[in-house]
Amino acid sequence: MKIQDFGLDGTILQRILSIALAQGGDFADIYFQYNSSLSIKMEEDIIKNTSSSILLGVGIRVIDGIQTGYAYTSDVSYEKLVETARNASIIAKNKHNISLNTLQIKNKSKNIYDLNAPVINSDIDEQINLVKEAYNSAKKYDNRITKITSSLASSYDFITIANSEGLIITDERPQTRLMVAATAEDGQNKSTAIANNGGRAGMEFYKSVELPESIGKRASEEAIILLSAKDAPSGELPLVLGSEESGVMIHEAVGHPLEADGIWQKTSVMWNKYGETVANPNVTIYDDPTIPNYRGSLNVDDEGCDAENIMLIEKGKIVGFMNDYLSSKLLGHKRNGHGRRESFQSIPIPRMSNTVLMQGNYSPEEIIESTKYGIYAKSFQGGMVEGTGKFTFSLNLGYLIENGKLTAPIKNVTLIGMNLDILKNIEMVGNDMGFFLGTCGKQGQSVAVTSGTPTLKISKMTVGGINGSN
């Protein structure tokens, strides 16, 4: 695929960029997107629906000082692009007459996606088999499993970015995710659990990384455990975060506060803490878009900049921020390729990709054994953070820890804390590692991310359970 298939070329984009900057402004860029996706859903023992979607459009951005003008169109004809460029330039007030560089095609320095056999291009029959294998495995796991939804969503995203600095670059990004929701009932209680896996990968993923059967089984296993789950206790308690999905905590407590827009705007509680020790020295955290085939990985970000692995916290000290074009310019930092957008309908803003807390020395067993009474976090619904550093995350399934052992399962509980307190309270870091696959929302835009952690112990955090339940 190429932009020429849509009647566009470098000369036209160059002309549009000069129209975008005709009123003034320091910078302009064009984001062309053609995204095709297919999803398949099985429920109540039948393949109920297959659904395809085409998203075509162009977004044009003009930056003047700290102001951003943006406009987009799903009609990519020349006349509409001219109108769109003019709309984006409304904010530009000061004529700088900057000279436009001639567009030079830039090739990506790497490819970190598996572009062999993208799922969306493979036989629908083969894709349906994946959905059925996951469904059937969830169903046969236990006869208390009563309802299952198994769905496969895959897409192929073609983007071309051109900007007034002379860059023109193309990226093609596959994405796939197989998800199973299982509902269990035993006459008294019922429960629902979700399991999923996927990435910027091809069909091979479901053969070599995780089989569909395994995804289905995980959903049912958790739903069955939840049937006997109790309410969590209430109050400040020690917390052990299992490695499977606890990356959510790092994503909220550290990731968002170190996105560079909150830094230059001084709205993040960490804006003035560069070089300061904010976490226990056993904590090192980085954001790495270059992990091959991962859900949050990128060759280049949505501004065409090489996406780089960036160290955020080294041995407890803040050493970096994730930035986009505008925030790097305003802060005087080197760009590191973290400007992302949901689609051509949105402006790029600093975002995470794959956020990882580095392994430590303790075995998960040692960490659990060291806890006399507390909570163990197994699976998550998600989390949230505000600029003040107050954050929450919600467990779908956890366990009580009593005398160093996991005992009763507990359900649906939210934990709350301030990041600057909790980061200092990370007292043990495990030697294992697991990744949570998520879709992160910020300013109304959703992007694919992952976050990884080993097993962690936090000395205390507020657990939102039921008073007197334990």
Partner 1 sequence: MEATNYLDYNEEIINFALKNGASQIQIAHSICDDFEVEVRQGEIQQFNKAISKSMGMKILVDDRVASASTSDLRKEIVKNLVLSTIKRARYSEADPYARLADLERSNIDSNSLNIYDPKIEELSPDWKISQAKEMESIALSDNRITNSLGSQVSTSLSTIFLSNSNGFAGSFQASSISAGVFLQAGSGDELYEEGWWENRVALETLPQIDEIAKTAINRTTRLIGAKKIESQKLPVIFEPNIAAEILGFLSACVNGNNIYLNRSFLAGKLDSQIANPIINIIDDGLIPGGLGSRPFDSDGVPTRKTIVIENGILKSYLLGTYAARKLNMKSTGNASGITNFVLENGNNSQNDLIRRIDKGILITSTIGHGLNPTTGDISKGAAGMMIINGEIAYPVNEFTFSGNLQSILQNIIAIANDPIQNSQVITPSILVNELDISGK
Q: Which of residues 395-434 bind partner 1 (CB under 8 A)?
A: 396, 411-418, 420
Report H helices in 56-107: 78-88
Which of residues 95 and 405 has its CB atom nearest to partner 1 in the complex?
95
| Minimum separation from the CB atom of position 342 to partner 1 (A) | 13
Handedness of CA 402, 405, 409, 413 (dihedral sign): positive
Q: In sequence order, which residues have a C-beta less than 8 Å from that of residue 231 and are 6 or more positions away?
A: 410, 411, 413, 465, 466, 469
* Near partner 1 in 52-91, by CB under 8 A: 52-57, 65-75, 84, 87-88, 90-91
Which of residues 109 and 188 has its CB atom nearest to partner 1 in the complex?
188
| Minimum separation from the CB atom of position 393 to partner 1 (A) | 7
Give the range of 283-291, 327-335, 364-372, 389-397 binding partner 1 by CB under 8 A: 389-397
| Minimum separation from the CB atom of position 280 to partner 1 (A) | 17
| Phi, psi torsion values for 457, nearest 5 degrees | -120, 130
Among 386, 402, 427, 432, binds partner 1 (CB under 8 A): 386
Which of residues 56 and 117 has its CB atom nearest to partner 1 in the complex?
56
Which of residues 263 and 358 has its CB atom nearest to partner 1 in the complex?
263
Q: Tokens 């270059």 correspond to what residue?
A: 290
| Position 347 contacts partner 1 (CB under 8 A) | yes
Which of residues 33 and 299 has its CB atom nearest to partner 1 in the complex?
33
**β-bridge mates for residue 154, sequence order:** 38, 176
Which of residues 85 and 312 has its CB atom nearest to partner 1 in the complex?
85
Q: In sequence order, which residues have a C-beta less than 8 Å from that of residue 32 and are 6 or more positions away?
A: 3, 6, 8, 57, 58, 76, 159, 160, 161, 344
* Near partner 1 in 189-228, by CB under 8 A: 189-192
Specify the 3-state DSSP secondary structure of 41. Answer: strand
- Residue 446: its H or E element: strand 445-453
| Position 51 contacts partner 1 (CB under 8 A) | yes
Record the tokens describing residue 266, joined without a space.
């001084």
Give the range of 47-55, 103-111, 172-180, 446-454 binding partner 1 by CB under 8 A: 47-55
Measured distance CA(249)–CA(382) in Å, rounded: 9
Count of residues near partner 1 by CB under 8 A: 83
* Near partner 1 in 139-158, by CB under 8 A: 146-147, 149
| Position 316 contacts partner 1 (CB under 8 A) | no
Among 214, 277, 394, 431, binds partner 1 (CB under 8 A): 394
Q: Report strand pairing: 354-357 vs 445-453.
A: parallel
| Minimum separation from the CB atom of position 375 to partner 1 (A) | 12
| Position 26 contacts partner 1 (CB under 8 A) | no
CB 259 within 8 A of CB 447: no
| Minimum separation from the CB atom of position 390 to partner 1 (A) | 6
Angle between the 124-140 and 212-227 helix axes, to the nearest 10 degrees? 30
Record the tokens describing residue 304, joined without a space.
């065409």
| Position 178 contacts partner 1 (CB under 8 A) | no
Measured distance CA(170)–CA(159) in Å, rounded: 6
Record the tokens describing residue 134, joined without a space.
């996951």
